[in-house]
Structure 1
Amino acid sequence: MAHPPTPISPPLKDELDIVIPTIRNLDFLEMWRPFFQPYHLIIVQDGDPTKTIRVPDGFDYELYNRNDINRILGPKASCISFKDSACRCFGFLVSKKKYVFTIDDDCFVAKDPTGKEINALEQHIKNLLMPATPFFFNTLYDPFREGADFVRGYPFSFREGVPTAISHGLWLNIPDYDAPTQLVKPLERNTRYVDAVMTVPKGTLFPMCGMNLAFNKELIGPAMYFGLMGDGQPIGRYDDMWAGWCSKVICDHLSLGVKTGLPYIWHSKASNPFVNLKKEYKGIYWQEEIIPFFQSVVLPRECTTVQKCYLELAKQVKEKLGPVDPYFQKLGDAMVTWIEAWEELTAPPQANDQPTKTPIKEEPSPKPK
């Protein structure tokens, strides 16, 4: 009698967490169910902690709200942004897995040109498990992909590649534009599906988007800090950019790779360009100083770990960007606090580190007399 086929376990099922920042019910997960259900979700609830966030049945998840963040981190909770998607990096802190995939709640399953639904998570995993080639560009893009290879003239000494630390995915439909570009191109949509993955070359910075991103936590996790943004800060919407610049400089120093391209997701909702402009305008102004800073950063040879690199970067941020605006002094301090929190939470878990599965119910405020 024939035995039924053994079910194939999803790749990295027990080694990967999906981190989602949100302020609303997670109905978008229904569309992702075939791809996400086997994995563990870490949901970081932004905004009002008394609001109940509904998660569709059948998902394995932890839900953290602001009360949990304050309880678990204590005074160090000041480094986690409030009312900005930068709060997602708290999920990176508490994840106990080797790999993290993070996605926004307005992102849906995209289709390739043949109409087939794209399993974004599976493609990110492929990217992370294959080497990257930051030292010499291969004109056939990713030489480790099936049906591709290194082209003639590619040095053999570079063909082994280096470990891939970051996989940066793209999006169809609503482009990821800054507010001025949004304002002049309100109807523009991205319809171009480019079937390619490439390694971002060493010495080249790139604008990292956090809505479709995966990384190897063991290789680059401590650099994935999304900064101080949102409530109480003079800037927003630069959280993923900041993490991208810091992590790329550190990847270059430690000979790690960053891939960009596939997979695509479907970005469904355009944010308000006037609201965005208010959040971004200082960043648009400051980035003319920030980019040259990151282009010229030199990390000393004794910086042999991501943590050491990041603390050195924090020091240089305060020294060199501090004169641009006092905000960068504050950001440099928060970068140090983040590393302290990282060291604390990656130690063996304590009993009181468990999240509340249901949102904390607070006593109602007394009615005014």
Structure 2
Amino acid sequence: MEKRRSAAASGDICVIVPTIREYECLREYVANAREHGFDVSRLHFVLVTEDFCDVDEMRAMLDDLDVSGEVFDGSRREEWYEANGVAEYGYVVPAASHAETSFGLLYMWADDAFEYGLFIDDDTLPHDDEDYFGRHMENLAFEGSIESVGSDESWVNVLYQNADEHGLYPRGYPYSAMDETVETGTAEIEAGEVVASQGLWTNVPDLDAVRILMDGDLEGQAQTRTTADDFGGDFVAARGNYLTVCSMNLAFRREVIPAFYQLPMDDNEWDVGRFDDIWSGVFLKRACDVLGKRIYNGRPLCEHNKAARSTFDDLHNEVAGLELNEHLWELIDDAGADAGDYAAVYAAMADRLADGEFEEYRNGAFFTHVGEHMRDWLDCLDAIRRAPAVADD
């Protein structure tokens, strides 16, 4: 029977890595931790992969690195659902999708020892000169003054600091919010207020397919690249402003999991894809604004080495949801105003989508589908809480 994490594992940080190819990137992340004196025993790696991948090689790598961790292909995830009393909710994690990172969130939720989570994409590498894990933990513990960024469009371009030079907007940024007037100020942050730390990216920026085409690239990357010089100081998005949240380099506190479901993309009848982390970030930002919390942005940077692929394949995956992405934030912008916790805010946003009528939008029924899955996500978390822990053999 599939067990929860071994009692011998003591880490408080669950590092979730969706991977089918470049899992060896973890060698660089572990080396970075050791080089900078970060306590590697705090890290527990969860590799989320597929049945056709070489699971044995992944496990051997974790053993060779002498780190705590587990590898879950599709079959083993099904065993885990069964053992943890949530087999009926297995569908909330979409098949063959980057959004399978949601399995890592369920895995975390089942183990109270995990205080923090961290998403790492397998096409990234840490910068040698930065303490990758240490900086994320410092960000989550941050208190003091920090730049606050907003705009007259209620959206923050996380690449704003050198946008006059490169002109880039990240994947998921609404087209209708472009050409915004940026407004900066100072926010005073209390201890415990930061609940997510979004590290940004050098080399290949995280762009959507339309913007990649406009940049003249047919291989799914970008002709315009970013360097560390494109990023200034760290910042938060002002209250009432939204931002794109990319899960390739992202740390977070356990408490956000009820409002941080990575949404059911790719495996749906509308063929909507590529917005799982983007929309989850919209929902998380709304929850943060209601509950007085913050998303910290900036460093640690990672090097994003996105593999070449047809830009038109990405366009096909995104186009079904482009119109919806323009309007999602407006639909939930006042939801859950009186809520007292993440689950309550999330339930209010789920109701707004599940009970709404969206015939005016192409593929508007997908909003209803998402809202229903958001409700099921909360039910799944409740079921995990009710299920008894599986004893070690």
TM-score, length-scaled by structure 2: 0.74
Which structure: larger Rg?
1
In the alignment, structure 1 residue 108 sits paired with structure 2 residue 125: yes
- Alpha-carbon distance in 2 for matches of 1:93, 1:100: 11
**SS of aligned partner of 2:370:** helix
- Alpha-carbon distance in 2 for matches of 1:279, 1:159: 38
Query: How far 1:309 moved relative to its partner?
Result: 1.3
Letter in 1 for 2:26: L
Q: Structure 2 matches for 1:154-193, cutoff 5 A? A: 160=190, 163-185=193-215, 186=217, 187-193=223-229
Hey, what does 1:259 align to over in structure 2?
Answer: 296
- Alpha-carbon distance in 2 for matches of 1:174, 1:235: 23
Letter in 2 for 1:175: P
Please list every run of 5 or more consecutive structure 2 residues that lacks an aligned counterpart in the other structure.
1-9, 34-39, 151-184, 218-222
Q: Single out whichever of 208-217 and 127-136 deviates more from structure 2.
A: 127-136
Hey, what does 1:92 align to over in structure 2?
Answer: 105
- Which of 264, 283, 292 is residue 246 of structure 1 equivalent to? 283
Query: How far 1:333 moved relative to its partner?
Result: 1.2
Q: Structure 2 matches for 1:191-210, cutoff 5 A? A: 191-193=227-229, 194-210=231-247
Which string of whole-angstrom CA distances, capped at 9 and with x for unpartnered residues, describes residues 16-49 of structure 1?
111111113621112122245431111111x435
- Which of 120, 143, 149 is residue 132 of structure 2 equivalent to? 120
Q: Structure 2 matches for 1:1-369, cutoff 5 A? A: 14-24=11-21, 26-35=23-32, 37-38=40-41, 39-45=43-49, 47-48=50-51, 51-52=54-55, 54-55=57-58, 56=61, 57=64, 58-71=66-79, 72=81, 73-95=86-108, 96=111, 97-111=114-128, 116=129, 118-131=130-143, 160=190, 163-185=193-215, 186=217, 187-193=223-229, 194-218=231-255, 220-233=256-269, 234-272=271-309, 273-294=311-332, 296-301=333-338, 303-320=339-356, 322-323=358-359, 324=361, 325-347=364-386, 349-351=388-390
How many residues were matched structurally?
317
Tell whether the 8 Å contact from 2:203 to 2:304 is kept in structure 1 after alignment: yes
- Alpha-carbon distance in 2 for matches of 1:328, 1:53: 39
Letter in 1 for 2:195: A
Hey, what does 1:367 align to over in structure 2?
Answer: none
RMSD: 2.7
- Alpha-carbon distance in 2 for matches of 1:101, 1:92: 10
Q: 1:53 to 1:226 in 2, by over 3 A?
A: farther
Tell whether the 8 Å contact from 2:105 to 2:257 is kept in structure 1 after alignment: yes
- Alpha-carbon distance in 2 for matches of 1:310, 1:212: 23
Query: How far 1:320 moved relative to its partner?
Result: 3.4
Query: How far 1:300 moved relative to its partner?
Result: 4.0
Which string of whole-angstrom CA distances, capped at 9 and with x for unpartnered residues, describes residues 272-313 of structure 1?
31111011002222212223223x323142x21111111111
**SS of aligned partner of 2:206:** coil
Q: 1:50 to 1:28 in 2, by over 3 A?
A: closer
Q: 1:338 to 1:282 in 2, by over 3 A?
A: same
- Alpha-carbon distance in 1 for matches of 2:186, 2:290: 22
Tell whether the 8 Å contact from 2:143 to 2:189 is kept in structure 1 after alignment: no
Q: 1:248 to 1:60 in 2, by over 3 A?
A: same
Tell whether the 8 Å contact from 2:261 to 2:374 is kept in structure 1 after alignment: yes
Letter in 2 for 1:129: A
- Using the aligned pairs only, state the percent identity: 24
Q: Which has the higher strand share?
A: 2
Letter in 2 for 1:30: R
Which string of whole-angstrom CA distances, capped at 9 and with x for unpartnered residues, describes residues 54-74 of structure 1?
221223111122223333131
- Alpha-carbon distance in 1 for matches of 2:147, 2:201: 27
Query: How far 1:271 moved relative to its partner?
Result: 5.0
Tell whether the 8 Å contact from 1:134 to 1:200 is kept in structure 2 after alignment: no
Tell whether the 8 Å contact from 2:194 to 2:296 is kept in structure 1 after alignment: yes
- Alpha-carbon distance in 2 for matches of 1:289, 1:192: 32
Letter in 2 for 1:287: N
**SS of aligned partner of 2:17:** strand
- Alpha-carbon distance in 2 for matches of 1:319, 1:77: 23
Tell whether the 8 Å contact from 1:128 to 1:164 is kept in structure 2 after alignment: yes
Please list every run of 5 or more consecutive structure 1 residues that lacks an aligned counterpart in the other structure.
1-12, 139-152, 355-369
Q: 1:209 to 1:217 in 2, by over 3 A?
A: same
- Alpha-carbon distance in 2 for matches of 1:290, 1:241: 11
- Alpha-carbon distance in 1 for matches of 2:205, 2:263: 23
TM-score, length-scaled by structure 1: 0.78
Q: 1:85 to 1:215 in 2, by over 3 A?
A: same
- Alpha-carbon distance in 2 for matches of 1:352, 1:50: 29
